[in-house]
């Protein structure tokens, strides 16, 4: 019998129009620490790895010649990155001060998190959240259903 395939990590890989500026922004906004960078002689960043707490994100500049494009302001990406933190209000303020656009103020949510949403200057959406209450799955579903009652 073949050995079961195991997934060891899921790592977001962001494509940006200015990877150098994005790295600086993520350091100011979220406290990211750069671990590795591959830079072309022209200055274009082909790959970078950043540490955010215990997680890693990867990013690069655009490479249109290889079909690698960054998000555009007028075209939603269809995804977001969720950072679970101990102080969502503080991180939201920090991200906005660093240049993020506030999309949703920190708000207590039915699923037991206080969360906010920001859009970074490179077109990526970030959901920021802090635990405020342990909610069972059944209670979460009940609260979710209640949101749709007329």
User: Is the CB of residue 143 less than 8 Å from the CB of residue 110?
Assistant: yes
| Residue range 36-94, pLDDT digits in tens | 999 999 999 999 999 999 999 999 999 999 999 999 876 767 889 999 999 999 999 99
* Residues above pLDDT 90, as percent of the chain: 86
**SS3 assignment, position 102:** strand
> Domain boundaries in the chain?
7-70, 72-150
Query: Which pLDDT band holds residue 3 (cuts at 50, 70, 90)?
Result: confident
Angle at 24 (CA atoms; ends 23, 29), nearest 5 degrees: 100
Choice between 6 and 48, residue whose per-residue pLDDT is larger:
48
The CA distance from 46 to 35, in Å, is 14
**SS3 assignment, position 145:** helix
Provide the pLDDT for residue 6.
Answer: 84
Residue 11 above 80 pLDDT? yes
Q: Which residues contact 146 (CB under 8 A, 6 or more apart)?
A: 110
The CA distance from 124 to 126, in Å, is 7
Q: Which CATH number fits domain 72-150: 1.10.10.10, 3.30.420.40, 3.20.20.70, 3.10.180.10?
A: 3.10.180.10
**SS3 assignment, position 95:** helix
pTM listed for this prediction: 0.88
Concatenate the DSSP letters of all residues of 2-31 into one string: PPPP-------EEEES-HHHHHHHHHHHH-
Query: Which pLDDT band holds residue 28 (cuts at 50, 70, 90)?
Result: very high
Query: CATH says 7-70 is which class?
Result: alpha beta
Question: Phi and psi for 106 in degrees, rounded to 5?
Answer: -55, 125
Residues comprising the chain, all counted: 150
Average pLDDT, the chain: 94
Provide the pLDDT for residue 77.
Answer: 77
Mean pLDDT of 139-144: 94
The CA distance from 45 to 105, in Å, is 33
The CA distance from 82 to 23, in Å, is 18
Provide the pLDDT for residue 150.
Answer: 72
């Amino acid at each position: 019998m073949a050995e079961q395939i195991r997934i060891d990590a899921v790592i977001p890989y962001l494509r940006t129009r200015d990877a150098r500026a994005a790295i600086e922004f993520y350091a100011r906004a979220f406290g990211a620490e750069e671990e590795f960078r591959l830079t072309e002689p022209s200055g274009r960043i082909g790959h970078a790895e950043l540490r955010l707490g215990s997680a890693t994100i990867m990013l690069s500049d655009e490479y249109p010649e290889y079909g690698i494009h960054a998000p555009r302001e007028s075209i939603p990406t269809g995804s977001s990155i969720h950072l679970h933190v101990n102080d969502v209000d503080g991180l939201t303020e920090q991200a906005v001060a660093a240049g993020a656009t506030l999309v949703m103020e920190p708000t207590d949510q039915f699923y037991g998190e206080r969360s906010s949403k920001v859009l970074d200057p490179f077109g990526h959406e970030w959901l920021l959240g802090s635990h405020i209450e342990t909610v069972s799955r059944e209670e979460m579903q009940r609260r979710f259903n209640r949101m749709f009652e007329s």
